[in-house]
Amino acid sequence: MKNAYPLALLACLWAATTLAQPANDECSDALVLTDVTNFCSQIGAFSNEDATGSALIEPSCWPQGSGGADVWFRFVAQGTDVNITVVGNTAGNPGPGGTLNSPQFALYEGDCSGGLTEIQCASDGFGFNIAETLAGPLTVGATYFIRVGAREGNRGTFQLCVNNFNQVPEPTSDCPTGVVLCDKNSFTVEAVNSPGQDPNELVGVSCIQQEFSSAWYKWTCKDPGTLAFTLTPNNPSDDLDFVVFELPNGIEDCTDKIELRCVSSGENVGAPFDEWAPCTGPTGLSLSSTDTQEFPGCAPGDDNFAAAIDMEAGKSYALVVINFSNTGSGFSVEFGGTGTFLGPEADFQFSQDAVCTGDPITFTDNSTAVTPIAQWEWSFGPGASPASATGPGPHTVTYATPGTKSIVLTITSEAGCIVTDIEEITVYPTPELEATASPDYCGPNFQTGSLTLHPSGGTPPYQFEFNNSGTLTSDTVFSQLAFGTYPVRIVDANGCSAEFTFEVPEGLALDPQLEPVIPPTCTGNADASIVVTIEVGTFPVTYDFGNGPQSDSILSGIPAGTYTVHVVDAVGCEGEFTIVVEDPPPLEVEIDALDISCFGEMDGMVTALSSGGTGEHSYLWEDSSTVQQRTNLPQGTYSVTVEDENGCRDSATATVQEPPELFLELVSVTDVLCAGEASGEIVVAVSGGTPPFQFSTDGSTFQDSPRLGGLTAGTYEVIVRDARGCTQSLSAQVDEPPPLVLDLGADQTVNLGATAVLNAKHSPPNLPVTFSWSNTEDFQGCTDCPNPTVLPLRTTTYTLTIQDPNGCTATDSVTIFVVEVRPVYAPNVFSPNDDGINDRFTLFGGPAALRIRTLKVFSRWGSLVFEANDIPLNDESLGWDGSFKGQELDPAVFAWMAEIEFIDGVVILFKGDVSLLR
């Protein structure tokens, strides 16, 4: 496309209309998208707030009745395929595109007046608040319409993205068969879901070790320079990775490829989103980035982009894009930088910028290509003959219809590259011409004929060449003509011309200054007249209205119809004229009756609506009043007679109805089940009035159901409103039980190993409740009672939820703070003399100590003389008896070491010495 027009003003133009009905509310007012090559509006740039429904049938994928708030866009196709996305109130990355929930849209071809044909449809049925589709093939140069709405009649702002491109072949997942790119036009890939046939293509790559859901592309550099690109996932939450290679052996050989850039950054698993947000969404090569690699995760400084590469002319390159999220969804590509890809360039010339309908214009190919061009396909636009052609041309074309025509040339190179050029020409309409002829009188030496020209079409002002005069004039009346044939050429302001021939007949002519018909006074009356007046003639003149010649030129007392009169003057010059007598429009009246609004009111109204007849109308009602509209009327039957200026009359009768009285009855009241809840309900019944009815408990929010639920305790005025706006009300009281209250008392503090008693108290105290405690593994008895005993091993918060028979609940918590006191006592002397007192050596402890895991006693020379494992504390019988290998040891001081395990799992090493006495 050679011509491009900016979209920068779109958002500003839209902002001026968002506070009222949108400017693009109807198809005929569709907002023009002038550049749809990878176009994305600003977030929230468009809105369907205050939009109305379109008369066009709802699209096939829209739920029935959801087309009530739609807006329209249109664009001229510049490529064969289009990707359209409407982003509304999306959650998470990359953030919302607006406030619209559940967007939907449809794509049409055709025109608003002549009929639209739906070609694609998308509707957000999953509540993701985004709708997206890929459509094609499109007719390049044709106009397409986008109709945007939302499910359930939702309204809000949204972002619109449109990418119109020439279809790139479906991607492959292996380098040798990768798609060859011939230019840097943007394109969209609908799906990526295969790892390819060769699983080892990425072996040795720095940041990606496995290939799955991949797409390969290759190209050769034409003009050296930078290369940047942006890969945007179709599914905004997908994680795209990529690698750029140089292909040193040429575009057909993927061996020995050299890694240039590698980016696989993404989520830091388990970390907050803010930490890795820079590594989400679009990715690619940037002219402002400096790094060449980004590894999995999101390191400080990563931004999902690597530095642009510098391409060299003649060198080949490859790009592999991987959808790490493996959703199967595709992506769009937009290229940047100064370097170019090797491929053909479509171009053509035409003999002039504008032509008139029917005039020839010539189109000639001017394309260039490094490799030979294999195919030329031309489309000359609507009304062209021929409509299309192949080959380089030149092609000569004429147009039967005016307008701006888009001429499309699509060329295909032997390498499979497809490129398009679109140019526009203007085809001006050819002017049309009609004429009214007045005959030339038969007598000699008379030239009384005339022609009055009536131009149309084309572009005013007009000029005329009359009777091959060789000169142009703006005159439209040519008089004093003899009977015969006259050529006329019309030329409009654009130079478009057409030739016509008109006849001036010979004979009598009616006087154009006098109207020959006096119409009937009323429709159907037979009191009309025809008065024939000849412009030029020789008297006497006879007139034949079908009943034989007569000297009287008047035919009277006739009804409406078509009449023919044959006139002959004294020299035999004749004229035959057809005269149409038409009835005046029939005088008709009807009464528009407005019924009484509510029972007992006096606000009925009748209005006489009359049409037809002649002149002004007057009215006469049954009560002799003469106004057109009567107000403040009671129920009854009313009649009116209308009369026009000719005395024609018509009558009508209508009845003003009074609606039945509206009654409201209280059916039931359901009190609130639990104090403070909104579970109350009031049910009412209605009779009389005019359905449908609506009900309210606050006078502002109304509902269709007479069952009014979700109420808290209180006194309510229930209001019913019928279809006429009549209301009736009653008072109803919703009660609630006393609140269920639970108290677990103050927090407690205990030493490790000690128990505590939890004390639950509730009110009302006599209300039966069930008990549900947390952390019951510490309980020493019942777990569903109000006063359990607990043995906490560490500071613990216990939560109790009670529930009464109605299902009402109350919750409270209490914390037992555990002081980690670990007292252990070891004697420093013992005497094993069997006197029952201090005969053995062991360790003693409180309830926090669980067991002695190991107790070892050593002599002064370090020899182990006693060892015991897994014995309880405080049990002297299992301690050391002062012997070694069955022999009593002499008194001495011995070292000991013990590992003590406590009830909370903590193990502490204790050391000391003990004296053996005898």
Rounded to whole angstroms, the Cα distance separating 291 from 207 reads: 13
Question: Residue 918 — pLDDT band, cuts 50, 70, 90?
Answer: confident
413: pLDDT strictly greater than 90: no
Structure tokens at 731: 């008072």
Instruction: Give the tokens for residue 4.
Output: 């491009």
873 Cβ neighbours under 8 A, 6+ residues apart: 824, 842, 843, 844, 845, 849, 851, 852, 900
pLDDT at 11: 41
Confidence label for 771 from pLDDT (cuts 50, 70 and 90): very high
Question: Looking at the predicted structure, is the pLDDT value of residue 5 above 60?
Answer: no
* Three-state secondary-structure class, residue 827: coil
In this prediction, residue 17 carries a pLDDT of 39
44-81: pLDDT as tens digits: 999 999 999 888 888 999 987 666 789 999 998 888 88
> pLDDT band for position 624 (50/70/90)?
very high
The whole-number pLDDT of residue 917 equals 92
Q: What would the two tokens of residue 304 be?
A: 């999902």
pLDDT at 752 over 80: yes
Based on its alpha-carbon atoms, the radius of gyration of the chain, rounded to whole angstroms, reads: 49
Q: Which long-range contacts (CB under 8 A, 24 or more apart) does 5-12 make?
A: 5/34, 5/35, 6/34, 6/35, 7/33, 7/34, 7/35, 7/39, 7/41, 10/41, 10/45, 11/41, 11/42, 11/45
Tokens 């429904």, residue located: 53
Domains of the chain (ranges, CATH numbers): 10-165 (2.60.120.380), 179-336 (2.60.120.380), 348-428 (2.60.40.10), 432-504 (2.60.40.1080), 517-577 (no CATH), 588-656 (2.60.40.10), 663-734 (2.60.40.1080), 741-819 (2.60.40.10), 824-916 (2.60.40)
Q: Is residue 505 reached through a cis peptide bond, with omega within 30 degrees of 0 on the bond before it?
A: no
- CA of 690: how far to CAs of 52, 348, 574, 694, 705, in Å? 28, 71, 73, 11, 15
**Has residue 256 got a pLDDT over 60?**
yes
Instruction: Work out whether the CA dihedral 91, 94, 98, 104 comes out positive or negative.
Output: negative
Which of 20-24, 286-290, 595-599, 725-729 is the least confident region?
A: 20-24
Model confidence, pTM: 0.48
- In the chain, what is the straight-line distance between the N-terminal and C-terminal CA atoms, in Å? 114
Q: Which two tokens stand for residue 149?
A: 């709405």
Render pLDDT for 445-503 as a digit per residue (tens, 0 to 9): 678 899 999 999 999 999 999 999 999 999 999 999 999 999 999 999 999 999 999 99
Q: What are phi and psi of 14, to 5 degrees?
A: -70, -40
* Average model confidence (pLDDT) across the chain: 91
Amino acid letter, residue 203: V
Q: Is the pLDDT of residue 444 over 70?
A: no
